Structure 1
Amino acid sequence: MASGIVTPKYVSDFSCIGPDCEDSCCIGWNIYIDKQSYKKTVAHRDLKTLAKTAMKKIKRSDDKWAIIRADSDGACPFLDVNRLCKIHSLAGEDTLSDTCKTYPRTSLVKEGDKYQSLYLSCPEAARLILFSPDAFMFERKESGLKNLLSTSPLWASKTYDNSIDLLLNEHLSWQQALLAIGLLINTADKVWGNEVDADQLDIRLEQLMLLAEKGVLQEQYKTLAYADKHQVQAFATIHGMFIDVHPRRDGERFKTVNDAISTLLNDDKTVDIDKINHAWNTIASPALEEHGDIFKRYILYYIYHEYFPLTLGDAPQSAFRLLVLDCFMLRCYLAVIAHKNNGLSESDIHLCFQVYHVVRQHKPTFIKGATAMMEKFNFSSVAGIISLLKTGV
């Protein structure tokens, strides 16, 4: 069987908006130039003079042969007065580095097919993923190539499919759906550890679907503890990490989120999670209802984009904890913005998701730091990590 290319509508609809972008990838990023692109650029008659000062050879690898020297505003020197790329306009797309040529597009191979996606760190990509009505319409076309050799473990493909079924269950809110997915992940961990067979994942799905229909999962979620101290520890650690490593921490968009957080700090500048959660319950959550189920949409993107639960190539529980942590942080960001603006506009929602993913999707240190934090504060059980989503007793 020939391999195929699977494309969600949010990918096929994407087109770079260039100078109209609120957070251009040509400003404030480390832009690496591969060896071939570097040689073509320095040899081009209209670009070679600029290239001598705009690019610095580092020779870390063929993919990271050089790096762009940003100007005083943090922008790529190859941008023209209209904030369009001179390399592209003067030398053509073939001369662009792989980074510039592909971002925000990405793909992974599973079950013999290539699955295309976009990074949420791109503002236009985030807009399509979060708000386009038909963003998750999928099309598969044959690639004309032989079947690609990438077969997922049976437990992984079953957990992937079953997680989506639980997420889309009409009886469950997004928080309750995450609880159900967590209970499924407990079974996936046992299959992963060769304690039970993969068919137990289908049995578990049927049980969880029945529990959702009867309202048992919903009641179970209500009885989970409100772990406010753990939430303070998690939020302070992760946002502190963002302040340290966010490549746009001095930019207007990150500053908007950071300033909103400062309005809900205690007198000693510590995080007041009760105020953040109150803002979520009274302002943010009701405001989000006007924009559809943003979090179910986001989690669907997440499962597809990360090929959950193979997100980390580790135990399924590790991938689940990271998913819940991401949702917790995004919920808090939306809450502080809602408090500051007394509501949430589409642009506010877009801001929170996009700013968060500039670090989440591009800084390898995030995974290490987040994992260390969850181990330190004992976010090990499903109940423990889901407690991050509770917003009151």
Structure 2
Amino acid sequence: MKWNGKRMKEKVLLPSYMKTFSCIGNACEDSCCVGWTVALDKKIYKKYKNIRHEELTGKFNKGIKRIKGTTASDAKYAYFIMDQQKRCPMLNEENLCGIQLNLGEEMLSPVCTTYPRILNTRGSEFELSAKLSCPEITRLALLNPGGIEFDQTEYEVKSSWAINTVNDAQSIEGDDIFWNLREFAIDIIQNRNLSVSDRMIFLGIFMNKLQDVVEKKQYGSIQLLIDEYRSKLGNRDYVSSLENIADNIPMQIKTLLEIIMLRRKLGINSQRYIDCFDNMIMGLDLDLSQEIEIRDIEEKYLFNFKEYFVPFLNEHEYIFENYLVNYIFENMFPKINTEQIFQQYIKMSVIYAMLKMHFVGISGQNKGVTTDLAIKLIQSFTRVIDHYPSYLKGLIEIVTINGFDTVAHIASLLKDRTITSERLDLMNN
């Protein structure tokens, strides 16, 4: 790839919300320069060390630390040392970046100048999306009732942006397979004839079959598999059978309790997420000083679900749909070159199931959910997942250690309880 100067126009596939995004700076409710480790590559590190500037030179000398040992690389060569308030040393009192103010945007590190954007390439194709750990992106991406749409358009790509390159296995037959797979995954999640939980379950059934095909390296039959399951997605009888899959509330609560223990063990310090986490605890009437039994929570969990969460879900199901579509696009899901198709699906399912359990608890504490509260939870939860790798790893281990990593178990973990008039009467009595 050749860059002509610092910027160039490229044909880029992007969700429509990226066309209107711009950083809102110090008006943002959660600074991306607070609480995060900002990595510096070797090139920008040397530039910073050679700068002579009345305000910044001292900050560069005191605020940057080299990464040494086997973990060091040209891409991750050093990092900014956060102060006692977990703030980047380059931030001024107005929460604006001193580097950008004094030296210009071109002197920002690739991490800083790219975030929250995610620029992926596969071959000569560019894709641009963004992280939901940014509050403004979360609003733009999730609050569109019409769903996320995609456009291929000319877009100004900066040479300083970090690029993630995805290389599919050379043995895969046909350049269109990757695109067809992901297009079908998005079509499943955007199929509003099904509840979001049933869409995820259908996707899991398909991914499990795809895993078999990829393991046998039968790449030529992937399109046939897509066609088969696209037909099933349009089959009313098959789709209706998904509604008969039973939920497993005790398993969901057991998983939730282990999440709580994991959060306490890791000591996550993102205040926005801690606020949401504490709300979840209070909304479930949990006393963490005592041993908690699943049966002690089940009644409260189901009450919150029925009384407070379901009304919000029924009116704003598109938020959860958009969340999953953005996840699929941002992560280039599924990556068939890894041959770990179903493991990728498990990761996606665990994140979504955990997020939904947070919603159930928080809805009880707040006697419902507003869109502002939903944005705060999703954004802060995404930030923690992205920037505390041990948290996500621990979440996945909870599922695998308990043997919940089969199609049937994941379905039970994802499944929403169907609230019928008969069941409402039973739950109210």
Q: TM-score per shorter chain, which class?
A: 0.7 to 0.9
CA distance in 1, matches of 2:156, 2:34: 38
Equivalences for residues 269-348 of structure 1 within 5 A: 270=292, 272-291=297-316, 293-310=318-335, 313-348=338-373
Which position in structure 1 is the counterpart of 2:53?
45
Q: Helix, strand or coil: the match of 1:198? A: helix
Distance 1:313 1:217, change over 3 A: same
CA distance in 2, matches of 1:110, 1:116: 12
Deviations 1:80-106 (Å, cap 9, x if unpaired)? 121101111001112211111111111
Task: Give the superposition deviation at 1:343.
Answer: 1.4
Task: Give the superposition deviation at 1:312.
Answer: 9.5
Does the 8 Å contact 1:264/1:276 carry over to 2?
yes
Q: Which amino acid aligns with 1:388?
A: L
Q: Which amino acid aligns with 2:53?
A: R
Equivalent residue in structure 1 for 2:115, among 103, 119, 130: 103
Return 5+ residue gaps in structure 1 as ranges. Answer: none
Distance 1:380 1:64, change over 3 A: closer
Which position in structure 2 is the counterpart of 1:193?
215
RMSD of Structure 2 on Structure 1 (CA): 2.9
Distance 1:368 1:329, change over 3 A: closer
Deviations 1:342-361 (Å, cap 9, x if unpaired)? 11111110011111111322
Which position in structure 2 is the counterpart of 1:236?
257
Deviations 1:130-159 (Å, cap 9, x if unpaired)? 1146773323236899xx994574654433
Does the 8 Å contact 1:28/1:247 carry over to 2?
no
CA distance in 2, matches of 1:253, 1:373: 20
Q: Helix, strand or coil: the match of 1:115? A: strand
Distance 1:307 1:127, change over 3 A: same
Structure 1 stretch displaced more, 30-39 or 185-194: 30-39
Equivalences for residues 1-393 of structure 1 within 5 A: 4-42=11-49, 43-46=51-54, 47-59=56-68, 60-110=72-122, 112-132=124-144, 136-141=148-153, 150-151=167-168, 153=172, 156-194=178-216, 197-211=221-235, 213-214=236-237, 216-222=238-244, 224-245=245-266, 247-249=268-270, 251-267=271-287, 268=290, 270=292, 272-291=297-316, 293-310=318-335, 313-392=338-417
Distance 1:273 1:15, change over 3 A: farther
Deviations 1:227-257 (Å, cap 9, x if unpaired)? 23322332233344344447534x1442232
Does the 8 Å contact 2:188/2:203 carry over to 1?
yes
CA distance in 2, matches of 1:156, 1:107: 17
Return 5+ residue gaps in structure 2 as ranges. Answer: 1-8, 158-164, 419-429
Distance 1:390 1:245, change over 3 A: same
CA distance in 2, matches of 1:74, 1:44: 26
- Give the number of aligned pairs: 386
Deviations 1:5-47 (Å, cap 9, x if unpaired)? 2122222222111211111111111122233323333423131
Q: Helix, strand or coil: the match of 1:25? A: coil
TM-score scaled to structure 1, two decimals? 0.87
Q: Which amino acid aligns with 2:281?
A: I
TM-score scaled to structure 2, two decimals? 0.80
CA distance in 1, matches of 2:394, 2:166: 33
CA distance in 2, matches of 1:343, 1:273: 18
Does the 8 Å contact 1:162/1:205 carry over to 2?
no
Does the 8 Å contact 1:127/1:350 carry over to 2?
yes
CA distance in 2, matches of 1:187, 1:341: 41
CA distance in 1, matches of 2:156, 2:272: 45
Distance 1:149 1:128, change over 3 A: closer
CA distance in 1, matches of 2:322, 2:336: 18
CA distance in 1, matches of 2:123, 2:201: 27
Structure 1 stretch displaced more, 268-277 or 344-353: 268-277
Deviations 1:277-319 (Å, cap 9, x if unpaired)? 4312221121234435211111111111112222993422112
CA distance in 1, matches of 2:347, 2:198: 17
Q: Which amino acid aligns with 1:376?
A: I
